[in-house]
Structure formats: C-alpha cells, structure tokens
Amino acid sequence: MTNDDVEAVDLSLAEVVERLSREVAALRSDVTRLDADLDESRRLNLRAAELLDIIYQKASPAPPPDSTARVA
C-alpha cells in the first residue's frame, strides 16, 4: 500500500465517520421529538379518561333516596 492509498482510505473513513455522525445526530433529534410526542399523548389520554369518568358519572342514574332520611 502506498502513501496515497493510505491517505485515500483515511479520507474515506473520515467521510464515513462524518456521515454516520450526522445520521446519529438526526436519530437523536427524532428520539427527542418522539419522546415529547409520547408525553403529550399520555397527557391527552389521561385527560380523555378523566372526561369519560365525568361523563359516566353524569349519565348514570342517581341512587334512590334513602328511605330513612328525615324530611324537614
């Protein structure tokens, strides 16, 4: 292997490392965005569950009045 060959391999490896570094940075950015989206989804899901609980409480029939209660 000549000096030129070694320099060409070094340059090629540097290009590969640079490309992989950019790809890793992009993937990290995607993971960060997806993590935030997941947190938002969980928050909205919890809110939807809370609203459904309220709807079910309002829609269910009231319990019968207590026959032992005194009317004033």
Residue 64: the pLDDT is 74
- For 13-58, write each residue's pLDDT tens digit: 989 999 999 999 999 999 999 999 999 999 999 999 999 999 999 9
Phi, psi of 10 (to 5 degrees): -60, -45
CA distances from 25 to 12, 16, 17, 35, 52 (A): 20, 14, 12, 15, 41
Question: What is the pTM assigned to this prediction?
Answer: 0.59
Residue 51: the pLDDT is 97
Q: How far apart are CA 16 and CA 13, in angstroms?
A: 5
Whether the pLDDT of residue 70 is over 70: the answer is no
